[in-house]
Structure 1
Amino acid sequence: MKIDDYDQLMKNFRLQFFEFNKEKLNNQPLSDKEWDRLTNYMLGRTVFESAKVLRDKYVLERDDGSKVYVSFIDEDHTKNLWQVSNQTTVVGKYANRYNVTILCNGLPIVQIELKRRGMNLRQAVNQIMRYKKHSYIGLYRYIQCFTVSNGVNTKYFANSDKDILYSHTFFWTDENNVRITNLKEFSIAFLSRDHLTRMMVRYTVLNDVEKAIMIMRPY
């Protein structure tokens, strides 16, 4: 799908959030005041804080005074609403265009940075660091995981409030501990809906001491 800019990302999230929580909301879309309450709760947080919000329930107060428990992700991948966007431009200190973003229920949870064959993956990691410093605002703090690839080599790593070290990027492996480096094969094994859901809800640890997101490595 096409999400051109941050405003469209927010509009899309509003629609997807309602669809995901439709039954809980009794099929009543959020009013502007309810939407403001939700976004005031969600935005302006660190990456670590956003990761906690993603996994928690939220008590939404409706305009009639009633309260509804809503959520942002389900452990059953078939209940989540998935989208993929390409070439979204976000303006912060500078304008940046993101290659590929995977959204779950309207929230960007995986960012993919692609480079030409033969290019060092460090360049892709450095590119993401520039994004983080210049334009990762608002909902982009909900990104849990990054993927970098030059087509031949592909690695993943957790989002962080700190600088990302290349030593903290990892290859994925199959059940025989054989590396999956090709982008197409990695996408099938790692970026499938069921696997991403498991990674987010079961195999990601939120370290309260370090204030860090820790995605488990393959074993």
Structure 2
Amino acid sequence: MGATIVLSQTNDHSLWSTLLPGRSLHNAQDLKQAFLYQINNPNIDSYIIDIDISFEKLLEMISYIHYLNGLVHVYIHINHLLGDITKNVSQLHVLEDVGELPRLLKDIPPDHRQYNRGHWPIQCEYWFPSQPDLRYEGMILSLSSGGCFIQTKDIHRDQVISMYVLFKDFRFLVEGRVLRRNSDTDQSSGIAVEFENVTPQTLKYIDEIINKKILSHLLVLLGEKEGDSEDS
């Protein structure tokens, strides 16, 4: 079963515990607390927004949540929403009745992604088992513990690759399987790779790199917003 973050200014979420028995609930009083918990618990599949908030601020909040995981669902009771809903937003559910929650949460696919994913260019070097001496270079545009997307023009039909991920002044080796090849001529051309045979130590290493990157980015964004509020 998935897990839910309840964003509330109180520590009392007895209503949600009664309504959602058996579901793991974590209370957060602000976004920083919520993000720290979500980063370390990527099985989070939903948020319950239990505070009054404008629709514009809610959209901004969802953009941060989806920076971590674009598949997370966000639920808010209409009485908490200030102002009009100006557009439809993916994964946002505005509830007329909180009694709808148990059914809606059950509808979340069980294969919900359970990896944090960082988005930033990282250089890599990869090769195919059939030609170990022939090396190719690419840029990793998206990285998670489960795999990555490599921007490269060297598209091949081989399904298994080995690769060095180059990060700052060090590198680590991973193996993977090509799940998808994009043969477009634009910048999205490349291969989607699922990691295989990754040691627990390497997985932990990847997670640390991703989580530090994600957290630093989110805290910078939140800090800028707080600074803007203080200046206004």
TM-score (norm 2): 0.27
Bigger relative CO (Cα 8 Å, ≥ 6 apart): 1
The structure whose residues are more often strand, as a share, is 2
Structure index of larger Rg: 2
TM-score (norm 1): 0.28
